[in-house]
Structure 1
Amino acid sequence: RYQRSEQAFDLALMEMVIQGVSTRKVAEITKKLCGTNFSKSTVSALCSNLDDQVLDFNRRPLTQKYAFVYADAILFKVHRGHVVTSN
């Protein structure tokens, strides 16, 4: 009976991390919700189960036609001497 609740809780923790919530913040949230401390390393260990799934997703063949492409990028500004450049 409680195994399903535990699995749902684990999935909720993983979903938070997938959505970009830091492991430190996830630990704070679980403390507030459950009254139990979950260390950052515990959250990381739970989410390590996602590593294989993420690799499989990233390595899947893109053989279908897609209606759109989503692109994301990071722009870093670099200080060299007294000049700021974008790389």
Structure 2
Amino acid sequence: MRFRPNMQGINSLMKTPEMGAEVRRVAERIASAAESVKGGEFKTDAALESRRWRAAVIGNYAKHNDREGTRDALLRGMDGAD
């Protein structure tokens, strides 16, 4: 038996308000976990694109003095947001 995902159904599900809320919630958990690891301020941004919701966590580079420190905090935040 061959599995065929319903891509049209999956794509429509990825655009629902409920999915957007979940994407935002996960991004906010990552930002919160990153703040607890490194301090500083991490912000989130979420938007509906043509195929799906997307979210980003934006770090305060000036607070950490370098991109690597912010990257490290975000990676730890992703682990802590599970």
| Greater strand share, structure number | 2
Q: Which has the higher contact order (CA 8 A, sep 6+)?
A: 2
Report which of the two structures shows the higher radius of gyration computed on alpha carbons.
1
TM-score by length of 1: 0.27
